Chain A
Amino acid sequence: MEILRYEGAGKRYGAAWALRDFTLGIEEGTITALIGPSGSGKTTALRMANRMAEPDEGGLRYEGRELRSYRPEALRRRMGYVIQSVGLFPHWTVLQNVCAVPRLLGRRRREAEARADELLALVGLDPARYRGRRPSELSGGEAQRVGVARALAADPPLLLMDEPFGAVDPLQRAKLQASFLEIQKRLRKTVLLVTHDLDEAVRLADRVVLMRAGLVVQADTPARLLAEPAGEFARDFVGEERSLKRLARVAAASCARPPATVPLGADAPAADGSCDGPAVYWAVDGRGRPAGFVRPGARAKPGAEAPSVLPLGATLKEALALMLEDGPELVGLVDEEGVLRAELGLADIARASSQAVVTDGPR
């Protein structure tokens, strides 16, 4: 069902149109990413959704009703709002910040605070440690997590996010994106997201809307946008390395193999002369955590360096990047306890990207 619909919406600043004839339906429970260079109108489109910007032509419908028929404040309290600069209130604690909207809605304090604790845990911050902190005591990534918790506090069906992870370093951004996907898997919110980062859009969104100079260039699934960019601008924007970008859609686990392991202190099986056996084994400790590599026929000892591993939820793109940076033949996938669950090599990635494994199926 469509929760929000733009019907030929347009916005003019002076003589220039920031957004023209914008028509888009947003399905409940999906993530839609508006992407484009600066000045493409994506933020204007987002801000129309909660009446922070009013259309000069056309209109919007929210849950089937004219958007104009909602009081702006009431509307905004029912839509989560996350911005790049986070905008936590510096004179309030983390807890007070997260409770902001529930308190506006007149919820009881105890109720709001219990809910805030749940949300802090959900975004990966220990409530006991973080609830009393001031925003000035948080790192950029932590602040943005609190920003997401604050937006979710009143359990809004729709979440508006304007460059939500744009102000943090690439490593933090990847972590935030991963935990955002985790959260989304559980909450199934409808999300409208503005970004200028194609990787982010491809990784997070079910639908990507590429915009330019106030007009929609292409609205498609990430895979189709990457595979069949419509026109020159889309091709340029998607870029040369788009097959690489597609790897960001694929879970590494989907093309990994069960690992060949040898317990520490034991001997790896000798090579039998055929090419079928593994070229290298994982030396694992008593609890199954990787400690190093061992050649066929050799004794398993802890390696000089920790072997390269990724969490189970990593993407193929991350696996490839790790291989290119660290140069291991094999990358291991470990669960939360650090136990080795799967392995994959360069050949697995090559096979996956040549086959039609890249889909828009569930991640």
Chain B
Amino acid sequence: MAASEASPGLGRLGAAAALVLFIAAALTPFAELKLNRIVRGEPVGAWDSPAALTGLALAAAAVGLSRATSRRETGGLAPLVPRLLVRAAALLLLAAPALMAGAHGLGRASPGPGFWLAAAGLAAAWRSGRARPDPASPPKARRALAAALDLAALTALVILALGGAFDRFSPYAEFAAQGPRFWDELARHLALSLGAFFAAAALALPTAALAARGGPLGSGLTALAGAAQNVPSLALFGLLLPALAALADALPGLRVLGVSGIGPAPALVALTLYALLPMVLAGAAGLRMVDPGARDAAKGLGYSQRQAFGRVELPLALPSFLSGARTALVQTIGTATVAALVGAGGMGYFVFQGLGQAAMDMVIVGVVPVVALSALADRLMGALQARAERYVR
């Protein structure tokens, strides 16, 4: 958190990009209103919707305010105002398509290009309200208020959703129609990605240690991980199908454990192989960068090889390893979408179902959580990495 507190809220470039996106959003069709989930809809612009126009205006105001406050130190809660505006704008823009459908007396509204442009602008402006630290208001108090603000916005979102405000918003309708299935697949997606990530991390550490030592075994394993990375994901799943099926046939005991040609087993194996390379390369690079003096001292003071690795070399290589782990985790969460093709489930289930039924709104139900999870994973791993870097300096 300290790192983000120190970074300026919204750069000049970010602000300009956000404003351009908001203007474009106002000029392009914001929603498609239609009778049911399959038929083509009728495009309607933001100019037809007070909610969408207000939302865009608030968002633009937030960007302007954020730039103004980031230039000088502002006392008290002023830096929180743009933050509040951005969250309010997000709620309004999210509710706008459903309101438009209601106003036209039509069943559903799908997001149009204007909606996505506005969403991109909001993503750019999301950091506004994080102005430079102000000595008058301690960052701790302001951070607590900012968190309270986000919590309030989230509560408002849930209340609106439960109150039916989004019922005519087509992606939300698809989500609601899935019922508990959505949460099951989300849990499966998380289990797949995290399982593969941790398995890969456990394999990557010893491989990185071997690779850093420069032996033939280490470079061979690195080459193998590199080769796996180069096989297209769909092809790797395909290659694993007969391999694991044959394995399960040969060893029936494995079948009891859930190993078969389709399902989570090939998906886990493939995702683990994919996640391996970034962590092996970054870990080996980190180990090679350990100060030779520290290494020699550890040996000379009487550390055994294992003690020197665990207590000196590994901690010093940790920031580098974590940068690889960050890449690996973000990549794994995204790639796990493809796992639905081999029957492993996950958010890919909605993506491929939606594609099959030509129901784009169902595709959105699968894609949006993946994007959100990736962004969250990136932030968390980034914070962890920054912490590790402070620890070894």
Residues on A lying within 8 angstroms of B by beta carbon are 50, 52, 72-78, 81, 83, 85-91, 100-101, 104, 134, 136, 147, 150-151, 160
Chain A to chain B contacts (Cβ below 8 Å), 10 pairs? A52-B300, A73-B303, A73-B304, A75-B302, A87-B295, A88-B297, A90-B392, A100-B301, A104-B302, A104-B307
B191 part of interface (Cβ distance < 8 Å): no
The residue that A101 contacts in the complex, of B293, B296, B301, B315, with Cβ under 8 A, is B301
A76 & B301 in contact (Cβ 8 Å cutoff): yes
Q: Closest residue of chain B to A90, judged by CB?
A: B392
The residue that B293 contacts in the complex, of A74, A77, A86, with Cβ under 8 A, is A86
A87 & B294 in contact (Cβ 8 Å cutoff): yes
B393 part of interface (Cβ distance < 8 Å): yes
A76 & B302 in contact (Cβ 8 Å cutoff): yes
| Complex alpha-carbon distance, A361 and B303, angstroms | 39
Q: Which residues of B contact A160 (CB under 8 A)?
A: 300
B316 & A91 in contact (Cβ 8 Å cutoff): yes
| Complex alpha-carbon distance, A91 and B301, angstroms | 17
B150 part of interface (Cβ distance < 8 Å): no
How close is A140's CB to chain B, nearest CB, in angstroms? Answer: 13
B303 & A88 in contact (Cβ 8 Å cutoff): no
| Complex alpha-carbon distance, A282 and B74, angstroms | 63
Identify whether the interface residues of B are mostly helix, strand, loop, or mixed. helix
Known contacts A73-B304, A104-B307; decide if A90 and B299 are in contact (CB<8 Å).
Answer: no
A50 & B294 in contact (Cβ 8 Å cutoff): no
B312 part of interface (Cβ distance < 8 Å): yes
B298 part of interface (Cβ distance < 8 Å): yes
How close is B13's CB to chain A, nearest CB, in angstroms? Answer: 34
| Complex alpha-carbon distance, A134 and B390, angstroms | 11
A101 & B291 in contact (Cβ 8 Å cutoff): no
B292 part of interface (Cβ distance < 8 Å): yes
Q: Closest residue of chain B to A72, judged by CB?
A: B302
The residue that A81 contacts in the complex, of B292, B294, B297, B392, with Cβ under 8 A, is B297
B391 part of interface (Cβ distance < 8 Å): yes
| Complex alpha-carbon distance, A72 and B298, angstroms | 13
Q: Which residues of B contact A91 (CB under 8 A)?
A: 315-316, 391-392
B303 & A87 in contact (Cβ 8 Å cutoff): no
| Complex alpha-carbon distance, A40 and B269, angstroms | 55
Residues on B lying within 8 angstroms of A by beta carbon are 291-304, 307, 312, 315-316, 391-393
The 5 A-B pairs at the shortest CB distance, nearest first, are namely A87-B297, A85-B293, A87-B293, A77-B302, A76-B302
Apart from A86-B297, A87-B291, A160-B300, list 17 A-B contacts with CB within 8 A. Answer: A75-B302, A76-B300, A76-B302, A81-B297, A83-B297, A85-B296, A87-B294, A87-B295, A88-B297, A90-B291, A90-B316, A101-B302, A104-B301, A104-B302, A104-B307, A136-B393, A147-B297
B294 & A134 in contact (Cβ 8 Å cutoff): no
| Complex alpha-carbon distance, A78 and B298, angstroms | 14
| Complex alpha-carbon distance, A104 and B300, angstroms | 13
| Complex alpha-carbon distance, A97 and B296, angstroms | 14
Q: Which residues of A contact B293 (CB under 8 A)?
A: 83, 85-87
B302 & A74 in contact (Cβ 8 Å cutoff): yes
Q: Closest residue of chain B to A105, judged by CB?
A: B302
Q: Closest residue of chain B to A86, judged by CB?
A: B293
Q: Which residues of A contact B291 (CB under 8 A)?
A: 85, 87, 90
| Complex alpha-carbon distance, A227 and B304, angstroms | 45
Q: Which residues of B contact A90 (CB under 8 A)?
A: 291, 294, 316, 392-393
A104 & B303 in contact (Cβ 8 Å cutoff): yes
B301 & A77 in contact (Cβ 8 Å cutoff): yes
| Complex alpha-carbon distance, A74 and B392, angstroms | 28
How close is B392's CB to chain A, nearest CB, in angstroms? Answer: 4
Q: Which residues of B contact A81 (CB under 8 A)?
A: 297, 300-301
Q: Which residues of B contact A104 (CB under 8 A)?
A: 301-303, 307
A89 & B312 in contact (Cβ 8 Å cutoff): yes
| Complex alpha-carbon distance, A77 and B295, angstroms | 15
Q: Which residues of A contact B312 (CB under 8 A)?
A: 89
A150 & B393 in contact (Cβ 8 Å cutoff): no
The residue that A76 contacts in the complex, of B299, B316, B393, with Cβ under 8 A, is B299
How close is B312's CB to chain A, nearest CB, in angstroms? Answer: 6
Q: Which residues of B contact A75 (CB under 8 A)?
A: 302
Q: Closest residue of chain A to B391, judged by CB?
A: A91
Known contacts A83-B293, A85-B292, A91-B315; decide if A50 and B300 are in contact (CB<8 Å).
Answer: yes
How close is B289's CB to chain A, nearest CB, in angstroms? Answer: 12
Q: Closest residue of chain B to A87, judged by CB?
A: B297
How close is A86's CB to chain B, nearest CB, in angstroms? Answer: 6
| Complex alpha-carbon distance, A182 and B316, angstroms | 35
How close is B240's CB to chain A, nearest CB, in angstroms? Answer: 40
How close is B78's CB to chain A, nearest CB, in angstroms? Answer: 37
Q: Which residues of A contact B299 (CB under 8 A)?
A: 52, 76
Q: Which residues of A contact B316 (CB under 8 A)?
A: 89-91
How close is B65's CB to chain A, nearest CB, in angstroms? Answer: 40
How close is B321's CB to chain A, nearest CB, in angstroms? Answer: 14
A87 & B307 in contact (Cβ 8 Å cutoff): no
| Complex alpha-carbon distance, A85 and B300, angstroms | 13
| Complex alpha-carbon distance, A90 and B302, angstroms | 18
Q: Closest residue of chain A to B388, judged by CB?
A: A91
| Complex alpha-carbon distance, A90 and B291, angstroms | 9
Q: Closest residue of chain A to B315, judged by CB?
A: A91
| Complex alpha-carbon distance, A70 and B9, angstroms | 61
| Complex alpha-carbon distance, A134 and B307, angstroms | 21
Q: Closest residue of chain B to A47, judged by CB?
A: B300
Q: Which residues of B contact A86 (CB under 8 A)?
A: 293, 297
Q: Which residues of B contact A147 (CB under 8 A)?
A: 297
| Complex alpha-carbon distance, A91 and B255, angstroms | 47
| Complex alpha-carbon distance, A72 and B299, angstroms | 10
How close is A162's CB to chain B, nearest CB, in angstroms? Answer: 9
How close is B317's CB to chain A, nearest CB, in angstroms? Answer: 11
A87 & B296 in contact (Cβ 8 Å cutoff): yes
Q: Which residues of A contact B294 (CB under 8 A)?
A: 87-90
Q: Closest residue of chain A to B295, judged by CB?
A: A87
| Complex alpha-carbon distance, A134 and B298, angstroms | 17
How close is A197's CB to chain B, nearest CB, in angstroms? Answer: 19
How close is B293's CB to chain A, nearest CB, in angstroms? Answer: 3
Of residues B291, B292, B297, B304, which shows the largest number of chain A Cβ atoms within 10 Å of its Cβ?
A: B297
Q: Closest residue of chain A to B297, judged by CB?
A: A87
Q: Closest residue of chain A to B299, judged by CB?
A: A52
Of residues B294, B302, B312, B392, which shows the largest number of chain A Cβ atoms within 10 Å of its Cβ?
A: B302
Of residues A50, A83, A85, A90, which shows the largest number of chain B Cβ atoms within 10 Å of its Cβ?
A: A90
How close is A290's CB to chain B, nearest CB, in angstroms? Answer: 43
| Complex alpha-carbon distance, A338 and B307, angstroms | 49
How close is A52's CB to chain B, nearest CB, in angstroms? Answer: 6
Q: Which residues of B contact A88 (CB under 8 A)?
A: 294, 297
Q: Which residues of B contact A78 (CB under 8 A)?
A: 302
Q: Which residues of A contact B301 (CB under 8 A)?
A: 76-77, 81, 100-101, 104, 150-151
Q: Which residues of A contact B302 (CB under 8 A)?
A: 72-78, 101, 104
How close is B299's CB to chain A, nearest CB, in angstroms? Answer: 7
